Amino acid sequence: MPDNFGPVYEVTHTVDPEVIEDFDAWLGQHIDEMLSIPGLSRAASFTARDHEDGRPVRVTQYHFDSDTDLENYLAGPAEIMRRAADEKFAGHFEATRRALHESEIVDGSLKAAKMCLNCGSTLSGQYCGNCGQRAATRLISIWQLLREAFGDLLELDSRLWRTLIPLTIRPGKLTRDYLEGRRARFMPPFRTYLVLSIIFFLVAFFDPREEFGILFATDADVPQEAAPEPANAEEIRNEVMRQLVEDGVLSADQAGIAPGPEEDAPDQPLPEQDTDSEDEPAAEEDKKDAFNIQINDGKRSTTGNCDDIETEGWPEWLETRLTPARLKVACQRVVADNGTAFLSKLLDSVPTALIALLPIMALVLKALYPLSKRYYVEHVLFVVHYHAFVFLILSVQIMFSRLASLLSLPEAIPVITSVAVSLYILVYLFKAMRRVYEQGWFFTMLKNLVLLSAYFVGMIVILVVTAIIAAFSI
The CATH code of the domain that includes 17 is 3.30.70.100
Residues in Cβ contact with 457 at an 8 Å cutoff, skipping those fewer than 6 apart: none
The pLDDT of residue 95? 84
- How far apart, in Å, are the Cα atoms of 345 and each of 195, 340, 464? 22, 9, 13
The pLDDT of residue 225? 53
How far is residue 378's CA from residue 176's CA, in Å, rounded to a whole number?
A: 10
Residue 131 resides in a domain: no
Residue 87 resides in a domain: yes
How far is residue 165's CA from residue 192's CA, in Å, rounded to a whole number?
A: 12
Q: Residue 256: left if φ>0, alpha if ψ -120 to 50, beta else—which one?
A: left
Looking at the structure, tell me whether residues 12 and 93 fall in a common domain.
Answer: yes
What string of pLDDT tens digits covers the 474 residues of the chain? 344 457 888 888 888 888 888 888 888 888 888 888 888 888 888 888 888 778 888 888 888 888 788 888 887 777 777 787 788 888 888 888 887 765 444 444 444 456 676 766 666 666 777 777 776 655 556 766 666 666 665 555 578 888 999 999 999 999 999 998 888 888 889 989 998 999 998 888 876 666 666 665 555 555 555 545 545 566 776 777 777 677 665 666 666 655 555 444 445 554 454 544 455 555 555 544 444 544 444 444 444 567 667 667 777 777 777 777 777 777 777 777 777 777 777 777 788 888 889 999 999 999 999 988 889 999 999 999 999 999 999 999 999 999 998 898 898 999 999 999 999 999 999 999 999 999 999 999 999 999 999 999 999 998 888 888 877 777
Looking at the structure, tell me whether residues 257 and 348 fall in a common domain.
Answer: no
Q: Which of 103, 121, 156 is the last residue of a domain?
A: 103
Residue 59 resides in a domain: yes
> 105-106 and 93-101 as β-strands: parallel, antiparallel, unpaired?
unpaired
Residue 146 resides in a domain: no
Q: Which of 71, 103, 135 is the last residue of a domain?
A: 103
Residues in Cβ contact with 145 at an 8 Å cutoff, skipping those fewer than 6 apart: none
Q: Based on the structure, what is the number of domains in the chain?
A: 3
Residue 70 resides in a domain: yes
Q: Look up the domain containing 33 and give its range.
A: 7-103
How far is residue 127's CA from residue 125's CA, in Å, rounded to a whole number?
A: 6
Residues in Cβ contact with 326 at an 8 Å cutoff, skipping those fewer than 6 apart: 472
Looking at the structure, tell me whether residues 250 and 355 fall in a common domain.
Answer: no
Q: Which of 327, 287, 277, 284 is nearest to 306 (CA)?
A: 327
- Evaluate whether 395 touches 196 at the Cβ level (below 8 Å): yes
Residues in Cβ contact with 215 at an 8 Å cutoff, skipping those fewer than 6 apart: 208
Looking at the structure, tell me whether residues 239 and 356 fall in a common domain.
Answer: no
How far is residue 448's CA from residue 361's CA, in Å, rounded to a whole number?
A: 12
Residue 351 resides in a domain: yes
Q: Which of 52, 71, 103 is the last residue of a domain?
A: 103
Cα within 13 Å of Cα(145), Cβ side = 5
Residue 153 resides in a domain: no
Looking at the structure, tell me whether residues 258 and 352 fall in a common domain.
Answer: no
The pLDDT of residue 6? 72
Residue 463 resides in a domain: yes
